Amino acid sequence: MEGTFWAFVPAIIAIVLALLTKQVYVSLFLGIFVGAMMYAGGDPLKALFTLYQVMSEKVGGNTPIIVFLVVLGILVVLLQKSGGAKAYGDWAGKKIKSKGGALAATAGLGCLIFVDDYFNCLTVGSVMRPVTDKFKIARSKLAYIIDATAAPVCIIAPISSWAAAVAGELEGDGLMVFISTIPFNVYALLTLVMVFALCFFKFDFGKMKRNDLLAEQTGDVHAGVTEDAESGEEVKANPNGKVRHLLIPVLVLIACCIGGMIYTGFFYNWDTGLIDTVPQSANVIEAFSNCDAGLSLAIGSTVALFIIAAYYMITRVVSFKEITGSFTEGFKAMVPAILILTFAWSISGIMGARGGYLDAQAFVQNNLAGSAFPQFLFPAIFFILAGAIAFATGTSWGTFGVLVPIAVTILGGSGTLTILTVSATLGGAVFGDHISPISDTTILASAGAQCNHVEHVNTQLPYAALVASIAAVAYVIAGLCASLGGVLCCLIMWAAALALFVGCVLFIKAMAKKKASA
């Protein structure tokens, strides 16, 4: 079964069960076990051995990310205890006068936190929840805004963990190639357009509209779905907290994470997997391309934690006892997310998104290498394929790790069509990541908004699918125009994408008006 379509069966089982039963943990575990049984030839004991072997490999390889998550959990608790988050919420509550303003402020904050999607999800959620609750905005809508301004922002930010991960998959000056893909990333950029259009033009549809109306009319921001909505007890905030007690720590964390990327980029040795004493990069740009994103975030967040703890003690907004207590509280708050991430990584591992075990990577490579599709269709094909793989595996990083080298190998060079196809792959990976119930960022967006996870997936799907459909059409048009050169191709592509988007918005609003008058 290795290297065949059967490699995707574990993810299909996990996703279908999660959507039907709403039991994410059990569904993921069963998906992993089925994959292990397939690999073990039906031997249950060998399957269990394989299951825990894969889990130990994936958890061990992602230890820096887990450390980063735990530190983020601690920092979120500290932000709440300091009163900084509450002070910002109170300040925003006074300044923001409308529901649209609250949504726009949430989206704006999401765009400002571009270093990492994990940090984005947890920080934006904890800060903006009180504001959106005040305006009776459904938690599922808050989760969508958080999710839609996490990965899509990171995938177009040159200074982010995502930029570093993509650059590592590209030959030559990886970061510069990544920067050249940004204008062509229709899904990521159009998702941001969609978010701000929702804030100001109010064209909700589907279950999201039903949830938002229910929250507005009854005040029930959970829209009747409370299972798994709360992530823990409310933290007691210092009544003397100021807005600066939120802003300064956030800026410190961003600065330390960027510093961590530069540090590991200069001294991280990919051959040994260790920090070396000899610089591995010639300049800062190259350092970003060479850094280990997970290790950088773990180092940066740990340094930031010490600085922020010292700042809070000096300003006397959080005591030493409260800081030490935040360690266990922060860890507890992150346990559900870490557990799901462990399962999500494990299911990706047993499938072989990057080779090995059931070897889904080989299936993709073998079926694309001899493809007879016209080259102008490659951007759209890679966009759809990346979306499907990211949806099945729950990992956008694993997806572009598989597909980007294939795209570059098939098309070669760094021409417009190659850049366009790489960009489409990145956008497709983000799309699949958005609609997958086993995706890490989807999970963390639910946690940040304190929204039921499956409810977030169900309400977000139509919005992401609409943007993805427009992006797929735009990539077909762009593929046809690739020979005209990068600038002209980009202009034509975006003219088509925006025209389609405006047409969809007008259609949705017309249908809503017709239904209201019926």
The token duo for 196 is 């701000």
Q: Which H or E run contains 269?
A: strand 268-269
Q: Please count the CA atoms within 13 angstroms of the CA of 435 that sit on its side-chain side.
A: 22
Q: Please count the CA atoms within 13 angstroms of the CA of 471 that sit on its side-chain side.
A: 36
- What pLDDT, on the 0 to 100 scale, is given for residue 110? 86
- What pLDDT, on the 0 to 100 scale, is given for residue 145? 92
- What pLDDT, on the 0 to 100 scale, is given for residue 468? 95
Q: If DSSP codes are grouped into helix, strand and coil, which group holds residue 274? A: strand
Contact 178, 163 (CB under 8 A): yes
Tens of pLDDT, residue by residue, the chain (518 residues) = 676 778 878 877 877 776 677 676 788 788 889 989 988 888 999 999 988 888 888 788 778 878 887 888 898 889 889 988 778 777 877 788 888 888 888 888 888 877 677 777 877 887 788 788 888 888 889 999 999 998 899 888 876 667 766 765 665 556 677 888 899 999 999 999 999 988 888 788 888 888 888 888 887 888 766 555 444 455 677 888 888 888 899 889 888 888 887 888 787 776 676 777 777 777 776 776 677 767 887 888 899 999 999 999 999 999 999 999 999 988 887 787 677 667 877 877 887 766 677 877 677 667 665 566 678 888 999 999 889 888 877 777 767 766 776 777 677 666 888 889 889 999 999 999 888 887 878 888 888 888 888 888 889 999 999 999 999 999 999 989 888 888 899 999 999 999 999 999 888 888 878 877 76
Residue type, 103: L
Contact 246, 84 (CB under 8 A): yes
d(CA 445, CA 139): 10
d(CA 63, CA 460): 29
The token duo for 412 is 């070669």
Q: If DSSP codes are grouped into helix, strand and coil, which group holds residue 243? A: coil
d(CA 454, CA 43): 32
- What pLDDT, on the 0 to 100 scale, is given for residue 291? 72
d(CA 379, CA 472): 8
The token duo for 359 is 């070897």
- What pLDDT, on the 0 to 100 scale, is given for residue 503? 92
- What pLDDT, on the 0 to 100 scale, is given for residue 231? 46
Query: Which pairs with CB-CB distance under 8 Å and at least 24 residues apart come from 366-371?
Result: 366/3, 368/406, 368/410, 369/406, 369/410, 371/410
